[in-house]
Amino acid sequence: MPVHDGSRVPVSSQTGPHPGLADKVDRHLGRHWRAPVAEHNRAAFECAARWRREAGLERPLILDSGCGTALSSVRLAEAQPGALVIGLDQSRARVSRASHRFRLPGNLLLLRAECADFWRLARACGWSLDQHHLLYPNPWPKPAHLGRRWHGHPVFPDLLALGGWLDVRSNWRLYLEEMALALERAGYRSTEPEPFTPEDPDTDFERKYHQSGHSLYRLSCDLGGRGVEAVSC
């Protein structure tokens, strides 16, 4: 089992993309996912929608989904003061740690919310992203957990519909290979997963993995949709 200074590279019995990936993606693309939305996620979304209306719906919108302790969200907001950045994480502890750790820029909103519910609500309201960052999503390396990886999840069509420039990073290359295949299946062309060395890591996990000697990978994909937003909430 590869271990580097305490932090592990995901270990999986999969030696290549999951054999059931294409079928799963096709199934999800072919039907609308209707699971109920949790009340606390609806409340978080309403808070975000209100914030956007007050800050200016015309401003480019950036989502940092699974932002953890939000270093990346803060950097994105500082680098692009004209944009609105929303950092989402389901962990109350991580979001509140971020709020204490940083002086949050005015164009950044951090929310405790579950991404799948939030994305569905955003799509239903016609939101259109400029950028969407998925930085070191939980890998779910067991083959039986394919459906929990974002590209194997029933919310994948909603993620696509939100549009924008998608940035996905992982220390598990196979996650990105599968993401690229799922994007292709849905009609999008991403970059190949490419190794990179961060000079100044953008996230706490990026720093931890880099310091532990892991190889890091990223891909990007233009999901389109910018500038055609018809927001209804």
Ligand X SMILES: C[S@@+](CC[C@H](N)C(=O)[O-])C[C@H]1O[C@@H](n2cnc3c(N)ncnc32)[C@H](O)[C@@H]1O
- Where do runs of H (alpha helix) occur along the chain? 21-29, 39-55, 71-79, 92-101, 115-124, 156-162, 173-185, 204-211
- Min separation Cβ 94 and ligand X, Å: 5
The binding site for ligand X (CB under 6 A) comprises 66-68, 88-91, 94, 114-116, 135-136, 138, 203-206
- Min separation Cβ 148 and ligand X, Å: 8
Q: Which is nearer to ligand X, 53 or 148 (CB)?
A: 148
Chain-centroid distance of CA 62 in Å reads 11
SS3 of 122-157: the string is: HHHCCCCCCEEEEECCCCCCCHHHHHHCHHHCCCHH
Q: Which is nearer to ligand X, 155 or 221 (CB)?
A: 155
**Rounded CA separation 58/183 (Å):** 28
| Residues 111/134, Cβ–Cβ less than 8 Å | no
Q: Among all residues, whose Cβ is closest to ligand X? A: 68
| Residues 67/87, Cβ–Cβ less than 8 Å | yes
- Min separation Cβ 228 and ligand X, Å: 26
Q: Which is nearer to ligand X, 114 or 229 (CB)?
A: 114
- Min separation Cβ 113 and ligand X, Å: 7
**Rounded CA separation 62/85 (Å):** 5
Q: Which is nearer to ligand X, 113 or 221 (CB)?
A: 113
- Min separation Cβ 7 and ligand X, Å: 10
Q: Which is nearer to ligand X, 88 or 160 (CB)?
A: 88
